[in-house]
Amino acid sequence: MSKLNHIEQSLIRIWALAKFELIRLFLTKRGMVAILAFVTAWFIILYYPVNSAVNIVSSDNFRDMVEDTFGILGLSALLNWQVSEFTIYWLIALYFFPVFALGASSDQTCADRTRGTLRFISLRATRNEIILGRFIGQVVIIAILILLTLVATTTLAWWRESALLVPALLKASQLFIQLIIIVLPFIALTSFFNSFLRSAKLTSVVTLLFFGLGSLLIGLISYQLSSANYLNYIFPGVQLSDVVGQDKLTVVDFLIPLIQTCCYLALASMFMKRSAL
């Protein structure tokens, strides 16, 4: 009973921390600027490529280009989607949201640590609760934004042809779950970097170096030692080329990001426990 009570208290604290992240995005100037940039970018995406999806996808030129250029990735399966808007949406969202998640979640705990605010919080929540609360907060934010773009895309398809509403809703639900799973390790990666870095800018720079120099280094090692290719699994998004075509999706495609998320959160917990506040 007592243990259950502890778990309940812990969950209450984690949710309080997560909710505060939502407020941080929607009620602060910096958050509002980020939302404004997001809305502008997606307005352009929805207005031009997604809105013209039927013409683009059905054009012979596009089909030839996809089959010639991306056929190896199995993108041709996307051309058969009933709701063409989602074909273009998926191709953009798959790469947009991970990059956006990296930027939006770059300040989870580092500014609070530098300012000393984390000292106030750590007398009321454990370090693991802080990491999890902030992580969940960021996931909820990205989920809301993904949901908004899916609703907008569904509306566009419905606007074009009312019979597309149900298939569009079904496809939107499917893509929502997939996109959430895809962005999880990206947010967990910044949680990890935040556990020892002291600013959002530094986190962004280290993230860039991680993906840039990291893949270069692994490429060089793999050149000498082919088994080193497995090191690529440290990179969130390593499975993106397999899922982009939406053809022959396997459980592994979802397990990889989930395992990566758990690993990065575990690392964040280890580093956070040792770090001085």
Interaction site with another protein (CB under 8 A): 6, 9-10, 12-13, 16-17, 20, 23-24, 27-30, 112, 115-117, 119-127, 274, 276-277
Nearer to another protein, 82 or 275 (CB): 275
- Cα separation, 174 vs 31, whole angstroms: 28
Minimal distance, residue 59 CB to another protein, in Å: 48
Nearer to another protein, 115 or 248 (CB): 115
Which tokens in the block code for residue 190?
A: 């910044």
State in Å, rounded, how far the first CA of the chain is from the last one: 32
Which tokens in the block code for residue 54?
A: 């039927």
- Cα separation, 24 vs 38, whole angstroms: 16
84 HSE (CA, 13 A, CB side):
17
Nearer to another protein, 73 or 267 (CB): 267
Minimal distance, residue 104 CB to another protein, in Å: 15
Q: Which residues contact 70 (CB under 8 A, 6 or more apart)?
A: 76, 245
Minimal distance, residue 112 CB to another protein, in Å: 7
Which tokens in the block code for residue 109?
A: 């705990």
Nearer to another protein, 85 or 129 (CB): 129
Nearer to another protein, 40 or 117 (CB): 117
- Cα separation, 191 vs 206, whole angstroms: 12
Nearer to another protein, 27 or 251 (CB): 27
Minimal distance, residue 115 CB to another protein, in Å: 5
Minimal distance, residue 85 CB to another protein, in Å: 37
- Cα separation, 125 vs 5, whole angstroms: 15
Q: Which residues contact 99 (CB under 8 A, 6 or more apart)?
A: none
Minimal distance, residue 133 CB to another protein, in Å: 9
